[in-house]
Amino acid sequence: MSKSFNKKQIGLAVACALALGILSGAASAQNINKDNELVTDSRTAVVKSGFGLCWHSGFGPPPASTPECDPNYVAYVAPPVVKSAPVPPPAQVAALTPPPAATPVAQKLTLDADTLFDFDKATLRPAGRDTLDTFVGNLRDISPETIMAIGHADRIGTERYNQRLSEQRVATVKAYMVSKGVEPGRVYTEGKGETQPVTKAGDCAGPKSAKVIACLQPDRRVDIEVIGTKTDR
C-alpha cells in the first residue's frame, strides 16, 4: 500500500509539475501592456478568451469597446447635426427724407385799375376777373401769410371822393379773391386815394379831358403784395 501510494503521489506530482510548466509557459508568453490596458503575448498580439473577449490588464479603467475586443461591438453613430435656420439680416430702415425746405417769398403785383374797373367805377370788369383769377392761381405754389392790397386813385375829383373810391375798389378786389378760396383773415386792404400818384406833377396838366384821363391812367391802380413761403421741390 505504501509503495502504491508513493507511486500515485509521484505521478500526481509529475502531473502538477507539467501543468505548472504549461501555465508558467503560458504566463511567460503574456505581457501586460500598461499603455493600452490590455494583456498581450510575446508578439504584442492581444490575448483573447475563448469567447473572443480581450483580457483587461487591471490598470486603469476598462478600455472603450472596440471591434477587436467586443464581438457585440456596435459602431457609435453621431447624432445628426441640426442646422439652425439662418438668421435673416436685420431689416434696413429707409432713411427718412426730410421735407422740402420752405423758402421765404415776397411778391408784389400791380394791377391796372382800368383793367379791373371802368372809369370812376368800383365794379369788376370781365377782364378784371380774368386778371384776378390768374393771380389767385399763382398763389397755389405759395403758402401766403399776408396779402396786402392797396387801392389808388388819380387826382380827378375831390380828395375825399378819391379816397372813398380807392377803398371801394380794393374792397371789391378782396371780396373776389375770397370767393376764389383765399382766406379772408390773410387779406388786408387799405385805400390811399390820390396821395401816392405814379405820374409826376405837370405830366398830365389841364382840366378833365379824355387826354388827361388817359395820361393819369398809371395812378389808377391796385397794388397787391404777398408775403409767404414757397416749398422747394
CA distances from 102 to 98, 138, 186, 196, 230 (A): 12, 17, 19, 34, 5
Query: Class for domain 102-231, per CATH?
Result: alpha beta
Closest C-alpha among 196, 172, 77, 80 to residue 121:
172
The percentage of residues in the chain with a pLDDT greater than 70, rounded to a whole number, is 61
Confidence at residue 81, expressed as pLDDT on a 0 to 100 scale: 75
The larger pLDDT score, comparing residue 83 to residue 132, is at: 132
Confidence at residue 30, expressed as pLDDT on a 0 to 100 scale: 47
Question: Has residue 15 got a pLDDT over 60?
Answer: no
Confidence at residue 211, expressed as pLDDT on a 0 to 100 scale: 92
Angstrom distance (rounded) from CA 72 to CA 212: 132
214: its cell numbers:
388817359
Q: Indicate yes or no: pTM above 0.85.
A: no
- The domain limits of the chain are 34-70, 102-231
Confidence at residue 187, expressed as pLDDT on a 0 to 100 scale: 92
